[in-house]
Amino acid sequence: MKLILDSENEWGFFVDPKTFDIFTIDNDIPDSSLVIVKEKEYIEDIDRTVIQTSYGIVDKNKFITKNKKEISKLMSEACSKFILARDTLPPKVKVEKELQEDKPAQLAFMLSNYDIFHLKISSTMLDGLNPFERIQDIIGNETQKLTLYDREDKWKIEYAKSSRATCKSCGLKIEKGTVRIGEPYYFDQYLNYRWHHEKCIFWSRLEIKQLENLEQLEKEDKKRIESYF
């Protein structure tokens, strides 16, 4: 089937459950594909663009909406079949939690840094094979263990685009056009920023290499910020 997206604000992927190959949604999506659609939305109240994700499968040429849990379950089943057929883990699938005897294996399918699906492989799914032994065999001594959020997220520095955001240190407004500093944090796996006034930052906590975007500031502002380090 063909899924028509709003090209400016929507994009997405589909996964072939047999191969775990990932495609972008600009082609026909075959039956039984697992579909992930992202939508960008600006929310004025919090002065932030958020990304909404929806999930589904294609069945008999129709799109059927699923939630993330349902999709993860379908991926777990597809992953088990992949392991049985090919004797290896599918691409982008890694062990998420240390394998334990007599317990389902907990794996993760990492479509991107922001789209991580938690998979649970039970022995029933592996036709009665013990997932601990089976997966231990496959990964051997290789360190296939996944480290979530192992990127070093940078703090962001920029001029406030509006006066709507408040400083998370002092609670006062950050005036439009003044320098604001964004502290990175994760919400529902998405990278977000908590904004602070320049004067409200404990600069000694930071290293200059942790700052993103410094080059974009006016010369004077850049010089002043650099002097804090």
Residues near Zn ion, by CB under 5 A? 167, 169-170, 197, 200
Q: How far apart are the first and last CA of the chain?
A: 56
- CB of 125 or CB of 167, closer to Zn ion: 167
Q: Which is nearer to Zn ion, 134 or 156 (CB)?
A: 156
Question: Which residue's C-beta sits nearest to Zn ion?
Answer: 167
Q: Which is nearer to Zn ion, 78 or 181 (CB)?
A: 181
Nearer to Zn ion, 16 or 198 (CB): 198
- Residue 155 Cβ vs Zn ion, minimum distance, rounded to whole Å: 15
CA distance 12 to 23: 9
Give the nearer residue to Zn ion in terms of CB position, either 106 or 169.
Answer: 169
Helix (H, G, I), strand (E, B) or coil at 192: strand
- Least distance in angstroms from the C-beta of 45 to Zn ion: 20
C-alpha 140/C-alpha 208 separation (Å) is 41
196 DSSP 8-state letter: E
| String of DSSP letters for 93-160 | EEE-S---TTS-EEEEEESSSS-EEEEEE-TTTTTT--HHHHHHHHHTT---B--TT-S-PPEEEEE-
CB of 142 to Zn ion, least distance (A): 47
Q: Name the residue nearer to Zn ion (CB basis): 38 or 197.
A: 197
Instruction: Give the CA diameter of the chain.
Output: 67
- Least distance from C-beta 167 to Zn ion, angstroms? 3
Q: CB 165 → Zn ion: shortest distance, Å? A: 11
Residue type, 157: I
Minimal distance, residue 195 CB to Zn ion, in Å: 9
> Which residue has 């910020």 as its token pair?
225
